[in-house]
Amino acid sequence: MTLKLKTKIKPYLIPFIYFSVIFSIGAILNIISKIYLEKPFPELIFKSFTLISFLILILLYKNQKWKIFKLRKISKKQLLIILFLFSLFFISNYISSVFSNQENYVGYIKENFNSFVLIITIASIGEEIIYRGFLQNYVNQFFNDFRVISRGNIFASTLFWITHLGFFTIMEPLFAAMSLFLVAVSSLTLGYLKDKSNGIILPIIVHLICNYIHTFIKISLG
């Protein structure tokens, strides 16, 4: 492997290894816990383990550029982008709720509302810590990146999108594809907000509201 190729790979290799190892261990814990525990505990264990693991990594790697738990004033442009994302979430979830068969999913949400809200809350916070807080930050520290969509954002969003490919196992193909498109747009948008605000508090808030919109529409129209 040439030195030039090593230099190009270096920013992505270490975070990808961390990601693969932590998610693999989390998946094993999830499988084992399903033997002994009922829903929603296996999923809570998986999401809590990955969240805490990446939070520890952030603390280990932190430097002046990694002060991510802060919130800057939101610009008008950022506000418009956020409102656009909320609208996209509302429309997409409305269409899927009206035109696809989601009785089992909606039934599960209604029967386990409190635990479901807890899971999506932990997931929203955890995913921002993982993808924007660590992965995107780690890659971007190697570049003086003034692109609208940074290299770290593209890397983190790609991994985020891949983890949602399971939609095809629980949805009709058309709606799975539509949901994956929404995942890609929302992840790149959250990454953009992270780069502009230099923190993950704003992406966490936006992510939470998007997931609450999803839940509200499902139980309202289901």
Q: Domain map of the chain by residue range?
A: 3-221
Residue 125 above 90 pLDDT? yes
171-207 pLDDT per residue, tens: 888 988 999 999 999 999 999 999 988 789 999 999 9
pLDDT for the residue numbered 197: 84
pLDDT for the residue numbered 150: 93
Q: What is the mean pLDDT of residues 138-158?
A: 89
pLDDT for the residue numbered 66: 60
Q: How many CB atoms within 10 Å of residue 199?
A: 19
Specify the range with the lowest mean pLDDT, choosing from 52-66, 79-93, 127-141. 52-66
Q: What are phi and psi of 86, to 5 degrees?
A: -60, -45
* Cα–Cα distance for residue pair 219/75, rounded to 1 Å: 33
Identify whether the C-beta of residue 170 lies closer than 8 Å to the C-beta of residue 105: yes
Terminal C-alpha separation, the chain: 55
> Could you tell me which residue, 173 or 145, shows the higher pLDDT?
173
Q: What is the mean pLDDT of residues 116-123?
A: 93
Identify whether the C-beta of residue 170 lies closer than 8 Å to the C-beta of residue 164: no
Residue 53 above 90 pLDDT? yes
